[in-house]
Structure 1
Amino acid sequence: MKKSMLDNLKAVVSNTLTDDIKMIDIDELHESADNFFVVEHIEQFAQTILGQGGVKDNLIVRPLKTGGYEIISGHRRRAAVQYLLDKGENIARVLPCLVQNYADEDDKMLDLILMNVSARQISDQELWKCYETLDKILKEKKDKGEYYGRLRDDIANTLGVSASQVGKMQNVDKNAIEPVKAAVASGELSISTANEIAKLDKEEQSKITDLSKVQPKDIKKKVVEKPVVTSSNDDSSDYDDDEEVLDTSIDDEPELQAKLREAVKRTNDETAVATNSNDDKYTTIAMKGYLLLAAEEASFSVEQINALLGGIMKALKNYDKAEAENKFLSR
C-alpha cells in the first residue's frame, strides 16, 4: 500500500535527526509566533532536565532572516533551561538543535505539528488547532495536486486519534456556530461537547448563553434528527466522497454499541435457522443485519439508529423487492 504524504513526512523528519546537530546559544533561539501548543509545567520539567545533566533531545529550528533561529519543536526545553539559568543553576546555555530549511510556511507548520504531537499528550484546545491547521493545509495541497489521501484518516493518523474523533471535529467545523468553535479554540469547551452542540440547528445553538456550563447529556435531549451531509450531495464539501461531514460517533454510547451487538447476534441466530425454502425471510433478515452493521461502522448516533430502524420497518411494509431494487439502481 502506498504511504500517505504524512507518513512520508514523518519518515523524512525521523531521518533528518541523524544529520549533524548544531549547538546554539539560548539567546539565539526564539519562540515561534505560530506555536499554539501550551508551554506549561516548566518548573517540574526543569528539574528533570537538571537531573539528566542538560537537554538530551534535539530542538528543531529554522534560520530567521533577522538573525537567530525560530523554534519549531522544543519550546518547553528552551523555557526550562532559561528558568534554570535565571535561578543560577549550573546548566549549559547552548542547546543541541537540528537546523531545518522549509520550502514554505505550510511545510513548517506540518513539522511543527508532527514533532509536537508525537512528544506529548495534547489538550482538546491544542487538538482543535492542529485539526484546523492540517485540514487547511491538506485541502490546499489536494487542490494543487500535491496530496491524494483521505483527509479524515490522514489527520487521525497524524494526530494519533481515532477517525471518529476527527469526524467530531469535522462536524463542529461544518455545523457549529462561530461562538462554539471559538469556545473550543479557547479551551472553554471540549470537542465532545461541541460535537453534541453542533448536532442542534443553528437557532438552537444560539440560545445557549453559557457554553462553559453545557453538559453533553443535556444537549443530547435537544438534538433533532438531521440528514447526514456528504460530498456526494453537497458540491461545496471539501471532504472525500465517502466521508461523512456530520460525525455521529458512538464512542461515548456504550449502551448503543451493546444493543447493536445484540441485534446483530439476534439477526445471525435467526439467519442460521432460515431455510432455503424461505428465501424472502433470509433476505430480509440479512438486509437488516447488514444495515445494523453499516450503522455501527458509520458510527451512527442514537437518533440516527432509531430513525434508521423505524425507516426499515416502514420500507419493508410499504415497498416490495422490485421497488427497492429500482430505488437503488436509480441513484
Structure 2
Amino acid sequence: MNAFRHFREQEAFMAETIIEIPLDELHPFPDHPFGVRDDDMMQQTVESVREYGVIVPGIARPREDGGYEIVSGHRRKHACELASLKTMPFIIRDIDRNTATIIMVDSNLQRENILPSEKAKAYKMKLEAIKRRAGRPGRNSVQVGQNYEGKTSREQIAENSPDSATQIQRYIRLTELEPELLQMVDEGKIGMTPAVEISYLNPDEQKLLIETIDSEQATPSLSQAQRMKRLSKEGKLSDDAMLGIMTEQKKPETWDLKLPMDKIRKYFPRSYTPQRMEETIIKLLETWMKKRQRDHQR
C-alpha cells in the first residue's frame, strides 16, 4: 500500500511544476515535530546530494510574509546546506494550514528511527488538523467523533500511517507527559506502556514522579504506573504513597540476597547470633528508609 501511494506521489510530482528555490527563502514548518539530526543517515544524504543532487523535490507553500514554508523536505534542505548548495527543488502548492499539516505528517511517518515523542506530537497535530477540517470541536471527539464516512479521526489517521488506531491514541497520550518524562521514553528508560499510564497523572504528580525517579534512580514498571494512576484518580497519590510504590522491589522472587558472613561479622559483638545480626540489619535499614522519606518530603 505504501509503495503504491509512493508511486502515485511520484506521478503527481511529474504533473506539477518543480522550481529551484534559494535556501534562504525557505522557512521550517511551525512546530515541526520531527527532528533534523546530524547523524549517519544525514551524512549519507549529504553525500548523495553532492553526487546526484536532490532527486525527490520537497513540497512548500507560499508565506504571507514572503518566501516559502516547507511542508516536506526539512532533512533534504539541511543536507543541501551541508553540501554547500544554494537552492533546492520544490513543488509549490497553495494549500491551507490543515492540509499542509496532514501532508507534513504523512510524508515523515514512513521514515525509520522516529522517536516516540516525534510520533506523539505529529499524530496530535494531524488529529487536530482533521478535526478542524471537519469542524468538529471538543477534547474527547477523538474517541467518539465520526466523520461523514463513519470513521473516527484515529481511524482516518491510521489509513496512511504504520500504526493502528489504538496505537495512535496511545502515542497521542504521550503528549500529556512532562518534557522530562517524555525524554525518558525517547531514551528507552521508560517503556511505552507504563508511560501511557503515567500520562494520566496530573502535572504536579508527574513533577513529583520525576523527583522520585531521580532520588531512587529507578523508573516505574507497568504495575507501578497502573497503581499510581489508580491512586491519582482516587485523589490518594500522596508523596508517601508514590515513594512507597517506587521503592518496592519490582520482582523480589527473581533473586536472593546473600551477605557474606566473613564481611559483616566484624561489625557485631561476638555474642550476636546470626538471627540477632539479621534483626539489627533490618532495624538499621528501616531507620535509613525513614530518613530518606523525611529528606524526600523537605
Q: Quote the residue 1:161 is aligned against.
A: 163
The answer (yes or no) to whether the contact 2:98–2:130 under 8 Å persists in 1 is no
Give, in whole Å, the separation in 2 of the partners of 1:163 and 1:100: 29
Q: What 5-or-longer segments of structure 2 have no aligned partner?
A: 138-145, 187-191, 231-298
The answer (yes or no) to whether the contact 2:80–2:86 under 8 Å persists in 1 is yes
Q: Quote the residue 1:30 is aligned against.
A: 27
Question: Which of 188, 191, 216 is the matching residue for 2:184?
Answer: 188
Change (3 A) 1:99 1:199: closer
Q: Quote the residue 1:320 is aligned against.
A: none
Please state how far the C-alpha of 1:72 moved relative to its aligned partner: 1.1
Change (3 A) 1:137 1:183: farther
Please state how far the C-alpha of 1:171 moved relative to its aligned partner: 4.8
Change (3 A) 1:135 1:201: same
Identity in percent: 24
Q: Quote the residue 2:209 is aligned against.
A: 208
Give, in whole Å, the separation in 2 of the partners of 1:64 and 1:12: 27
Give, in whole Å, the separation in 1 of the partners of 2:161 and 2:219: 26
* Structure with max Cα Rg: 2
2:92 maps to a residue whose letter is V
The answer (yes or no) to whether the contact 2:49–2:83 under 8 Å persists in 1 is no
2:125 maps to a residue whose letter is T
| 1:95 matches 2:96 | no
Give, in whole Å, the separation in 1 of the partners of 2:208 and 2:80: 47
Q: Quote the residue 1:54 is aligned against.
A: 53
Which TM-score applies when normalising by structure 1?
Answer: 0.51
Q: Quote the residue 1:240 is aligned against.
A: none
Change (3 A) 1:183 1:154: farther
2:115 maps to a residue whose letter is S
Give, in whole Å, the separation in 1 of the partners of 2:6 and 2:147: 15
Give, in whole Å, the separation in 2 of the partners of 1:28 and 1:205: 41
Please state how far the C-alpha of 1:120 moved relative to its aligned partner: 4.4
Give, in whole Å, the separation in 2 of the partners of 1:109 and 1:143: 16
Q: Quote the residue 1:125 is aligned against.
A: 117
| 1:139 matches 2:136 | no
The answer (yes or no) to whether the contact 1:60–1:72 under 8 Å persists in 2 is yes
Q: Quote the residue 2:224 is aligned against.
A: 221
Which TM-score applies when normalising by structure 2?
Answer: 0.56
Q: Quote the residue 1:197 is aligned against.
A: 198
Change (3 A) 1:200 1:214: farther
SS in 2 for 1:159: coil
Change (3 A) 1:215 1:93: same
- Per-residue deviation, residues 265-310 of structure 1 (Å, max 9, x unmatched): xxxxxxxxxxxxxxxxxxxxxxxxxxxxxxxxxxxxxxxxxxxxxx
The answer (yes or no) to whether the contact 1:60–1:73 under 8 Å persists in 2 is yes
Q: What 5-or-longer segments of structure 1 have no aligned partner?
A: 1-8, 86-91, 227-331
Change (3 A) 1:28 1:141: closer
Q: Quote the residue 1:323 is aligned against.
A: none
SS in 2 for 1:135: helix
Give, in whole Å, the separation in 2 of the partners of 1:193 and 1:160: 22
Please state how far the C-alpha of 1:14 moved relative to its aligned partner: 6.1
- Please give the root-mean-square deviation of Cα atoms over the aligned residues, in Å: 3.6
The answer (yes or no) to whether the contact 1:200–1:222 under 8 Å persists in 2 is no
Please state how far the C-alpha of 1:138 moved relative to its aligned partner: 2.4
Change (3 A) 1:112 1:200: closer
Give, in whole Å, the separation in 2 of the partners of 1:34 and 1:171: 18
Please state how far the C-alpha of 1:206 moved relative to its aligned partner: 5.7
Give, in whole Å, the separation in 2 of the partners of 1:73 and 1:120: 16
Please state how far the C-alpha of 1:116 moved relative to its aligned partner: 1.8
Question: Which of 104, 112, 126 is the matching residue for 1:112?
Answer: 104
